[in-house]
Amino acid sequence: MYFTEEHQLFRQSFRDFLQREVVPHIDKWEKDGAIERFIWEKFGEMGYFGLLQPEEYGGLNLDLFYTVIFLEELQRINSGGFAAAIWANAYLNMSHLKAEASHEIKQKYLTPSIEGKLIGCLCITEPFGGSDVAGMRTTAIKKGDTYVINGSKTFITNGLFADYLIVAAKTNPEEKHRGMSIFVIDRNTAGITATKLDKLGWRASDTAELAFDNVVIPAENLLGEEGKGFAYIMQHFALERLVMGINAHARAEYALEYAIKYMGEREAFGKTLDKNQALRHTIAEMSAKVDMCKEYNYSIAKRLNDGGYVVKEASMSKLLSTKIADEVIYDALQMLGGYGYMEDYPLARMFRDSRIGPIGGGTSEILKEIIAKMVIDGKDYKPVIK
């Protein structure tokens, strides 16, 4: 219903590319906690960072189902960390550049990002709190034709190796939502320090805490209008949360397929595992849950692609898909017995990588708040960028 022949050809060629160019390096990157620079450039050369970007800046301007395929295939090579580094660059920081940046800023940052020559990151979360976005404390105070940034950010994907940072800060610290703006900051600007964080999963991706000490940037680095930062962030959350929902159904599907294959080969009590009714019923239930998520996510991707404003639906997608992915991966690991716990088998890494799903990019509790406001109180979120 959603995929044409061209889509399928793209899936096959991207799958081949990942097997050839990425998979041989994954274990090293997982161990080092860093992804080598050459692969970013290869993604750029292939146009993969530009799937949703305008042709004027070097993008391919394709429909959203190319992105769906891109995300699904990234999950199937089983490094949540590598996938996160790539999709965060393509769909978090680059989405802000695409929607809010001036022509000059797009030429300076967006085009080289599409080419894979520059890496970016999106800095919203702060050590004092991530869920309460409007309560952030980082400030950007206007002085002549500059802004001076002070504060800190934490848990930032690509925060260590990014060449530029998209940063949310208060231009009017007295205000909550209306006092926030978004900036692009060059990594080499004086006053920025970054510390790498150690974490449970996503081990190939770098996650950093950043400090800004009197960081002076040109006023042109303001993205969009002053005071609209919160609205911009909320608007991009629709795509970002759908991205995370799609990632979740794709990794759950991969875990399920792996478990089914394993069960057909492993014997216990004189028969393969897949002949046990109790296990068969568990697989049937896992399969039903994954299919429900996948079909829902495709339908929301279609609505978003056709111009729909899907804040509620994308929140629902992330809420349930990440929960189901955790459940399915937990059960898939169980099917492998002791081998499920071993690093030589894929389920161990999947298990720890999946756990970030209900936390990053809006926790499940916050998503429930948003959904409740819409379904109980009748709240309606409106787009700020037409």
Which positions touch ligand FAD (CB under 6 A)? 88, 121-125, 129-131, 155-157, 199, 202, 207, 356, 359-363, 365-366, 369
Among 74, 53, 76, 77, CA closest to 63:
53
Q: Which is nearer to ligand FAD, 201 or 346 (CB)?
A: 201
**340 versus 360: smaller Cβ distance to ligand FAD:** 360
Nearest-approach distance from CB 94 to ligand FAD, in angstroms: 13
Cβ contacts of residue 377 below 8 Å, gap of 6+?
A: none
**Residue for token digits 């009197």?**
214
| Residue number, 249 or 318, with CB nearest to ligand FAD | 318
Taking the alpha carbons at both ends of the chain, their separation in whole angstroms is 28
- DSSP single-letter state for residue 118: -
| Residue 129 DSSP one-character state | B
Nearest Cα to Cα of residue 345 among 262, 230, 235, 270:
262
CB of 103 to ligand FAD, least distance (A): 26
Residue listed under structure tokens 């980082």: 138
Tell me if residue 30 is catalytic: no
Instruction: Using the minimum distance from each CB to ligand FAD, give the nearer residue, 208 or 259.
Output: 208
Q: Which of 40, 31, 33, 29 is nearest to 163 (CA)?
A: 40
Count of other CB atoms within 10 angstroms of residue 167: 30
Catalytic residue among 240, 265, 267, 295, which?
A: 240
Please list the residues that pair with 150 across neighbouring strands. Answer: 139
Catalytic residues, by residue number, are 240
